[in-house]
Amino acid sequence: MAIGTPLDAADGVMTAERPRTATRPLAVNDGAGMAAVFAAVTLMGIGSVVAKASDIEGPVLAFHRAWAAAALYVGLFLALGGRINLPSLRAAAPGGLFFGVQLALFFSAIQLTTVANATMLIALQPVAVLLFFSKRFNEAVTGRQLVLSAAAMVGVGLVVFGSTESPSWSPLGDLLALGALTMWTLYFVASKEARQRLGAFEYQGLSLLFSAAIMLPVAMLFSGTVDAGDGKWWWIVAMVAIPGTGHLAMNWAHPRVRLALISQMTLFSPVVSVALASIVLEGETVNFLQLLGMATVLAALAILVKER
């Protein structure tokens, strides 16, 4: 195999015949891709609750989540015959840097505020994707889709405002979640672009190298340590295994599913988080207004997916 031959960007298998190229066919929303996205958003939703339950400081958790996952996926990529080169690193760098900052902001937010607020605020991402990035990938957005997305955002708002009386609520946590929203949106777009050139394992591993690199100084600056604490290393393993697998499934699906639809399907993730948190975490109750909001999100999402 020639040096630098990537995992195939569409199928995630090794190929020497297909050269690296920046031009790929538009995603067509195939069944396998849709199933991968659904699995991804479910695992990410569970991951938010795991992060809250770990009680590890956000920057520290983000650093260990990044380096452990980087070691795993780079190892898999190399074991499958892949090679790391400068063009691959350049393609993976933007997504990795955005993702590292997003991890730190989101994990910090979820330790401060409610799971409902942190996850629902970051779920505003589809609005940014629809309004600012769909044309970038030649993906048409209809008025009906905008209305349905707006309805889903109303549902998100109901969940957020329904939790303001919770003892776990924090304005600072909500502000950090908004910062995570910005980074999450930029990571999403960067990943879509990178997957036009890199395979799933290749992009997942190389991007996380940059996430870990940027999180080391951040963790030392804001937490003063990278020590997760005695008996807490299993939480790192859980974060790599659960939401980490979700991100791999999402990156695998990018060439198969249009950006706008993937973004809209992420609205299911906070619903999973809120429902699970209400069961397993103390102080994470769900009231009628939040239930109404989650029902609105699910209804709008179901119609969007069916239409696409």
Using only the alpha carbons of the chain, give its radius of gyration.
19
Q: What is the mean pLDDT of residues 150-165?
A: 78
Contacts of 231 (CB under 8 A, 6+ apart): none
Task: Print the domain residue range for 227.
Answer: 31-307
| 12 within some domain | no
Q: Please report, for residues 18, 210, 275, the alpha-carbon distance to residue 94 in angstroms, rounded to integers and kept in the order given.
A: 24, 8, 33
**pLDDT of res. 90:** 95
Residue found under tokens 């103390």? 282
pLDDT for the residue 213:
93
**Domain membership flag for residue 2:** no
- Within 8 A by CB and 6+ apart from 148, the residues are 300, 303, 304, 307
DSSP E strand boundaries for 90-133: none
Does 88 map to a domain?
Answer: yes
Q: What is the C-alpha separation between 157 and 144, in angstroms, rounded?
A: 20
Beta carbons of 89 and 206 less than 8 angstroms apart: yes
CA torsion through residues 284, 286, 290, 294, sign: positive
Quote the pLDDT of residue 110.
87
How many separate domains does the chain show?
A: 1
Give the per-residue pLDDT at 129. 76
Residue 240 tokens, joined: 């790599």
Give the range among 7-11, 238-242, 268-272 with minimum mean pLDDT: 7-11
pLDDT tens by residue, 210-264: 999 999 998 898 888 889 888 899 999 999 999 999 999 999 998 888 887 888 7
Among positive and negative, which fits the CA dihedral 150, 297, 182, 254? negative
At 24 the pLDDT is 46
CA pair distance 180, 107, nearest whole angstrom? 9
Tracing tokens 């590890």 back to the chain, one arrives at 56
Higher-scoring residue by pLDDT: 161, 6:
161
Q: Report whether 50 contacts 243 (CB < 8 A).
A: yes
> Using 50, 70 and 90 to split pLDDT, how confident is the model at 97?
very high
Q: Do residues 183 and 101 make contact, with C-beta atoms less than 8 angstroms apart?
A: yes
Point out the least confidently predicted range of 25-34, 42-51, 264-273, 277-286.
25-34
- In a domain? residue 62: yes
In a domain, 285, yes or no: yes
Token digits of residue 124: 């505003």
Q: Cα separation of 52 and 57, whole Å?
A: 10
In a domain, 120, yes or no: yes
Q: Which has more pLDDT, 28 or 124?
A: 124
In a domain, 91, yes or no: yes
Q: Where do we find the tokens 């009231």?
A: 287
Is residue 24 in some structural domain?
no
Confidence band for 161, pLDDT divided at 50, 70 and 90:
confident
Distance CA 262, CA 281 (A): 28
Model confidence, pTM = 0.76
